[in-house]
Amino acid sequence: MNSATPGRARPQRADAKRNYEALLAAGKSVFAQSGTQAPLEEVARRAGVGQGTLYRQFPTREHLFAAIMSESIDLLDRTARELLTAPDPWDALVQWLRLYDESAARYRGMTRVVAEGIADDSSPVAVACTPMRASFGDLFDRARAAGLVRPDLTALQLFTMISALPKDPERGTTVPPYLDVVLKGIKP
């Protein structure tokens, strides 16, 4: 469970909770199928709820994104903390970035949303990413402290840069040389 997901802590009526789950499932399905620009109307329709219910549960499209991503974010967060004890700081960093790239491939356009929202601390995506950003920051700092990364680059900058790389329209991941170029380029 990602504690940063908004509104999940306080009790809800049973039907509200059911609708929340239905909207989440519909959102995943619609975004996976039609990309992150798909009409929200379709999400409500597929969830079998009124449009107002969608807006009550997820005030903006970004709130829905954040909720959908939270499972992947939890996994990335846990993985970053595990990799913190891996013997080679550089390999650990690279391994995490490749996992991030693959995780983001599930929903077309998702990393673009992340790249755009991450700099604004008030955005739901940035809030949802907070724990993962912290653990990735640790992973990044370990590599940088070991002199394996150029000192003028921040963890947030690298994360933003990877998120913004163009995607292969078929596989959804970054085109191979792009990631390699960045990984080579961040060395000191």
* Site residues for DNA per CB under 7 A: 12-13, 15-16, 19, 38-41, 48-53, 55-57, 59-61
Give CA angle at 128 (124, 130), nearest 5°: 115
Q: Amino acid letter at 87? A: P
**Residues 127 to 156 in contact with a copy of itself, rule: CB under 8 A:** 150, 152-153
User: Cβ(49)–Cβ(110) under 8 Å?
Assistant: no
Residues 155 and 133: beta-carbon distance below 8 Å: yes
Provide the minimum distance between the beta carbon of 185 and DNA in the complex, in angstroms, as a whole number: 36
Query: 56 exposed, middle or buried (CB, 10 Å; 0-12, 13-18, 19+)?
Result: middle
Residue closer to DNA (CB basis): 59 or 176: 59
User: Applying CB under 8 A, which of residues 32, 94, 115, 148 lies at the interface with a copy of itself?
Assistant: 115
Number of residues lying near a copy of itself (CB under 8 A) = 21
180 binds, among DNA, a copy of itself, none (CB under 5 to 8 A by kind): a copy of itself
Contact 107, 67 (CB under 8 A): no
Which of a copy of itself, DNA, none does residue 51 bind to, with CB < 5 to 8 Å depending on kind? DNA
Q: Distance (Å, rounded) from C-alpha 114 to C-alpha 37?
A: 14
Tell me whether residue 78 or residue 187 sits nearer to a copy of itself (CB atom). Answer: 187
Residues that bind a copy of itself (CB under 8 A): 115, 150, 152-153, 157, 160-161, 164-166, 175, 177-178, 180-187
